[in-house]
Amino acid sequence: MRKAPNFKGYSPLLSGNNDPENKGDLQEGFDLGWEALHSNHEFGSKPTGIMAGDNVWPSELPEFREAVLEY
């Protein structure tokens, strides 16, 4: 996520740090924005600004994108 220009993607365990006295937080996450599951779906206009842009999906889990977007 840190390397993505729009702050989307995976944040691994210990990557966040809310307490400067520890080595990282015991949490992980996956940040994403709205995306159509199928390319023929329209949902208003595309977002703009710093958070706009494609979601970053893990190539090692090809079924992850569809599972998340269906949810």
Q: Please list, residue by residue across 23-43, b when 16 or more beta carbons sit within 10 angstroms of its beta carbon and e when fewer do.
A: eeeeeeeeebeeeeeeeeeee
pTM, to two decimals: 0.60
Q: Which residue has the higher pLDDT, 7 or 31?
A: 31
Which run of H or E residues covers position 59?
none
| Domain encompassing residue 69 | 1-71
Helix or strand or coil: residue 10?
strand
- How many domains does the chain contain in total? 1
CA 69/CA 15 separation, integer angstroms: 24
For 18, the token pair is: 């809310």
What confidence tens digit (pLDDT) does each residue in 22-41 have?
A: 888 888 888 888 877 776 65
